[in-house]
Amino acid sequence: MAARQSLTEYRRRRDFSKTAEPKGDTGGETSARPSFVVQIHDASALHFDFRLEVDGVLKSWAIPKGPSSDPHDKRLAMPTEDHPLEYREFEGVIESGEYGAGTVIVWDEGTYRNLSTDRHDEPVPLADALEHGHASFWLNGRKLHGGYALTRIRADRGGEREAWLLVKHADERASAHGTPDPWRARSARSGHTLKQVAASGGETS
């Protein structure tokens, strides 16, 4: 199954005897109400991880500044390997020496509706839209709401990494709030900050 195959890179990078991150043995179905998650990851460089459920996996981008609710902000989004669906619940500490070492909190979570269309205004499956380099979707999160677009601005070639932009649609859910301070932000699941999760060693339940 394509979804499982796409987790090869995810698994190759991790030692599951050392990290509490999910291995991703379940899932693979297509949901009627696909999910999204935004995690804050205090890795070597702090960033937000934006993930959309597509065909049974979480398509993922690292966003250094995080998503913004302001349509004037164009947020650089660097694609990362597909993650298993269970990763949307992951919050904790990836121990030092392991891939992605650092603290992770679930900053926002919810469902989304695909808004992607072709030039004849016909709906396009999200996987196809991403393949073509432009996807639109409506987020129903606890923090993020409304339409957003992901657009590929650079292909992966000549040693340059593929790059995308995440931009808020100018709709009724747009606002000038921009992005929260990641250090003060609280988990949508536990209410904890990065520092609290780090201090507990990831035992936050």
Give me the residues that bind Mn ion (CB under 5 A), please. Answer: 41, 49
* Smallest distance, Mn ion to C-beta of residue 16, A: 17
* Smallest distance, Mn ion to C-beta of residue 99, A: 10
Alpha-carbon dihedral of residues 143, 55, 76, 117, nearest 10 degrees?
A: -90
Query: Among residues 41 and 59, whose Cβ is nearest to Mn ion?
Result: 41
* Smallest distance, Mn ion to C-beta of residue 40, A: 9
Query: Among residues 41 and 168, whose Cβ is nearest to Mn ion?
Result: 41
CA distance 101 to 2: 28
Query: Among residues 21 and 49, whose Cβ is nearest to Mn ion?
Result: 49
The answer to whether residues 90 and 111 touch, using CB atoms and an 8 Å cutoff, is no
Measured at the CA of 35, the angle between CA 196 and CA 24, to 5 degrees, comes to: 75
* Smallest distance, Mn ion to C-beta of residue 47, A: 6
Query: Among residues 42 and 55, whose Cβ is nearest to Mn ion?
Result: 42
Instruction: Tell me the sheet residues that pair with 102.
Output: 94
